[in-house]
A and B are shown apart, each in its own frame.
Chain A
Amino acid sequence: EVQLVESGGGLVQPGGSLTLSCAASGFTFSGYDMTWVRQAPGRGLEWISSISTTGQTLYYADSVQGRFTFSRDNAKNSLYLQMNRLRAEDTAVYYCARRHSSAWYYFEYWGQGALVTVSS
């Protein structure tokens, strides 16, 4: 069974930093592109970043480019999202997701999400 479990969420002050993790199991982690999608409270979904199987190819949304860094450790079956210079508008539930076999931009399996609150 595919499982994705996010951790590391919490309360952080504006301008601060936080790192989210996503532990994957139930599939060959190194064989799949992975993605982070976030959802602000009461709002819709927003794609923020995707990473290739090796971690060498990265895509970022304009809203996080230059502030967030997506990485993976295939030996540990884990993803990491380093978030710097956080803003109030970054407050959201952050989901990690695994691609569908068809293409990296279809997200077939999702974690339960980690809440990040940016507030003073």
Chain B
Amino acid sequence: QSALTQPPSASGSPGQSVTISCTGTTSDVVDYKYVSWYQQHPGKAPKLMIYEVNKRPSGVPDRFSGSKSGNTASLTVSGLQAEDEADYYCSSYVGSSNVLFGGGTKLTVL
């Protein structure tokens, strides 16, 4: 069974950078060309922040960046701001017409 593993929490002070990881557990997830990241504030719908590993949709600040190395994709938030405090989910198309989400990471701005 494919899975995407994220740390349950991450934190940083305003102005700092924080990186959230997303690790795949099977070879098809390891391919990782189809990773996206979503931000979700409490009680709100998710928002697409990164797609295709490192591309930003229109309107997403360039403080948000994505990357991958081996079987791990990462989301980096630079210049942390209070409004960045939210849950972040990675997602990947894993073939066989199936999409997985990671378990989510709660980002706290200290």
Whether A100 contacts B48 in the complex (CB less than 8 A), given A44-B102, A45-B38, comes out as: yes
A107 CB, nearest partner CB in chain B, Å = 6
Give Cα distance in the complex from A44 to B101, angstroms.
Answer: 8
On whether the beta carbons of A95 and B46 are closer than 8 Å, the reply is: yes
B98 within 8 A of A: yes
A61 within 8 A of B: yes
List of 5 A-B pairs having minimum Cβ-Cβ separation, nearest first: A110-B45, A47-B99, A59-B97, A105-B93, A106-B51
Binary flags per residue of B75-93, CB closer than 8 Å to A gives 1, else 0: 0000000000000010101
Binary flags per residue of A38-57, CB closer than 8 Å to B gives 1, else 0: 00000011110010000000
Q: Which residues of A contact B102 (CB under 8 A)?
A: 44
A59 CB, nearest partner CB in chain B, Å = 4
On whether the beta carbons of B99 and A105 are closer than 8 Å, the reply is: yes
A4 CB, nearest partner CB in chain B, Å = 9
Give Cα distance in the complex from A102 to B55, angstroms.
Answer: 10
